[in-house]
Structure 1
Amino acid sequence: MAVEIDEYSLSSCLLCLMSNGKQIGTATGFAAIVDDRVFLISNWHVFSGRNAHTGQPLNISHAIPDAVRFNLHVREPFGAVIDCQVQLHDEDENAKWIMHPTGQEIDVAAIALPFLPKNIAAYSLPMLGQTASMRVQVSQDVYILGYPSGMSLNEMFPVWKRASIATEPGLDIAGKPFFLVDTASRPGMSGSPVIARSVGSYIDTSGNTGMGGVFTKFIGVYSGRMGAASQDDAQLGVVWKAHVVDEVLKNGIHGSYSIRA
């Protein structure tokens, strides 16, 4: 009997962050395609190994990742996986990944995967079939497709972590394009795609109801909880809006960082 797997589960990758050949952490990422080029999407703090606000190293030993290992699901043959490793810096220690043109505090980044064969079709977001007209609103349940503490199903598939939208998703916060979700996430979920999912029916942005089927919309990139290390932790996570991914891919600049107080 054939096993049915949601194609959104096939889009999310467990990232193993490497430094001098040793694993120093895990995160989550997903593929996106622009002009036939495949990119791996995650957070700025994942690829840089640094706090997006201060620029300081995140690792307790101050190790900075120099490579990322991950498995990428491809469409043909079904169930096939490519074991990938991409270097984060060139021979001159310049970043090979790109970041948002406004700077590191927009915590989304991308790196090209030029080594993929031309005939490989990755499960990529946001190109998977989605309902772009679906209304997304505060209090709505959404799903974070990630790998908490490196956890995965059969080392291949993400955990669908439920969250609820906690702030008005149409508004920016402190002038930045993100909204908050209420969820008890764990380390390793940074870089996860976030989707809205409705089964049977959905309401579109005009207030009309669509019927019949499973409806999905890619709404952003998760980057972790606010204040997770403090007693003020309210279990609120940050989701960078979907359009930020487009801005990084179309107008991104070479990855860099600055140290801030």
Structure 2
Amino acid sequence: MARPPYNLRLGGNTHHQFELQFPSFIDVLSLSCSPILYFNRQNELMNDRHASGSFMTIRGRKFLVTARHCLSGRDAFHDDPMDRNLFEPHKIRVFPSLRDERGNVRRTTADIILRDDDNTPQWLEDPEFRAFRTDIACVEIPENIQNNFVTVEEGYSEPALFTHTGSSCFVVGFPSKNFADPYFPIWRRGAIASEPRIPIDNKPIFLIDAMTSPGMSGSLVVQREFGPAALRQPDGSLSTNAMAVVTTKVIGVYGGRVANSDALGDIGYCWYENRIRSIAR
């Protein structure tokens, strides 16, 4: 009887019995990204669903940032249940990276309660959610488990990096659950597919052309330019950081794909990164 094709587990150890081919540097965006696993109120792990999120430090506070629907179980636009069984997550499990005093990094496990005994949500959402339907949520990490967390720090991004139609971008997340410790994400490459100056549907949304999967909901969307990149100056003019090797800017949170049956179904939509700061205030 023929065996099924071998299914590669995505992830792997940092120590090997063979010579490595690539430099040892690991991107902080990969270290700060985590899959999200779900538990119901009976504390049962829901094996058929997962999402993506990233740890960020905003004004000295550490948060898990993801899509709101990944925590609420409800569509952001209509607030309808996304699961036909009306499943609402009660607890999530995430896998933060910890850095020791020698700079070595390892993954650990952390569980975060999403609703208290009165079913009150424990996450933060956009203070203008009713107006914009912003599908972003932030969960503050409890102090007793946040020591030495690797996060995307404020100031990591180059805010002046010029974003235009066709700019390269990456969705950094977990397209499947077939991951092994230390849970490094997949970087799905895409391009800005709408005019950044024109918000989609009068909401803080832009479009990307990228191959994505439902499990990547909540992923950070990152613009990354290799070599000289265009920077926007305060007066609106452009300059070039001619000596730069890599220039990076977190530009959004991936929400999902445009819900159309035609060709637009392959287009992803993302929420503005600047709404994260509004939420974390």
- In the superposition, the TM-score normalised over structure 2's length comes to 0.82
Residue in structure 2 matching 1:54, options 75, 78, 81: 78
Amino acid at match of 1:209: T
The answer on whether the counterparts of 1:139 and 1:165 sit within 8 Å (CA) in structure 2 is yes
Aligned to 1:112: 140
Aligned to 1:3: 24
Residues 36 and 212 of structure 1, relative CA distance in 2, 3 Å threshold: closer
User: Map of 1:16-55 to 2, 5 A cutoff?
Assistant: 16-19=37-40, 20=42, 21-23=44-46, 24-55=48-79
User: Map of 1:195-234 to 2, 5 A cutoff?
Assistant: 195-205=222-232, 206-210=237-241, 211-227=243-259, 230-231=261-262, 233-234=264-265
Task: Quote the offset at 1:155 in angstroms.
Answer: 5.1
Task: Quote the offset at 1:154 in angstroms.
Answer: 4.7
Unpaired runs of 5+ residues, structure 1, are: 251-261
Residue in structure 2 matching 1:13, options 34, 57, 81: 34
Could you tell me the percent identity over the aligned residues?
Answer: 27
Larger Rg: 2
The answer on whether the counterparts of 1:18 and 1:25 sit within 8 Å (CA) in structure 2 is no
Give the aligned length: 248
Amino acid at match of 1:175: N
Amino acid at match of 2:29: Y
How many Å separate the matches in 2 of 1:219 and 1:51? 22
How many Å separate the matches in 2 of 1:191 and 1:126? 18
Query: 1:150-172 deviations in whole A, cap 9, x for unaligned?
Result: 34465511100011101111322
Task: Quote the offset at 1:233 in angstroms.
Answer: 4.1
Give the CA RMSD over aligned residues.
Answer: 2.0
Aligned to 2:188: 161
The answer on whether the counterparts of 1:125 and 1:218 sit within 8 Å (CA) in structure 2 is no
Residue in structure 2 matching 1:145, options 172, 177, 189: 172
User: Map of 1:42-191 to 2, 5 A cutoff?
Assistant: 42-76=66-100, 77-103=103-129, 105-117=133-145, 120-127=147-154, 129-152=156-179, 154=181, 156-191=183-218
Aligned to 2:16: none
How many Å separate the matches in 2 of 1:22 and 1:153? 17
Residues 11 and 170 of structure 1, relative CA distance in 2, 3 Å threshold: farther
The answer on whether the counterparts of 1:153 and 1:159 sit within 8 Å (CA) in structure 2 is no
The answer on whether the counterparts of 1:75 and 1:123 sit within 8 Å (CA) in structure 2 is yes
How many Å separate the matches in 2 of 1:74 and 1:135? 33
The answer on whether the counterparts of 1:66 and 1:87 sit within 8 Å (CA) in structure 2 is yes
Residues 183 and 143 of structure 1, relative CA distance in 2, 3 Å threshold: same
The answer on whether the counterparts of 2:59 and 2:154 sit within 8 Å (CA) in structure 1 is no
Amino acid at match of 1:100: D
Residues 226 and 126 of structure 1, relative CA distance in 2, 3 Å threshold: farther
Amino acid at match of 1:90: D
Bigger mean CA deviation after superposition, 133-142 or 20-29: 20-29
Task: Quote the offset at 1:63 in angstroms.
Answer: 1.3
Amino acid at match of 1:34: I
The answer on whether the counterparts of 2:50 and 2:177 sit within 8 Å (CA) in structure 1 is yes
Unpaired runs of 5+ residues, structure 2, are: 1-19
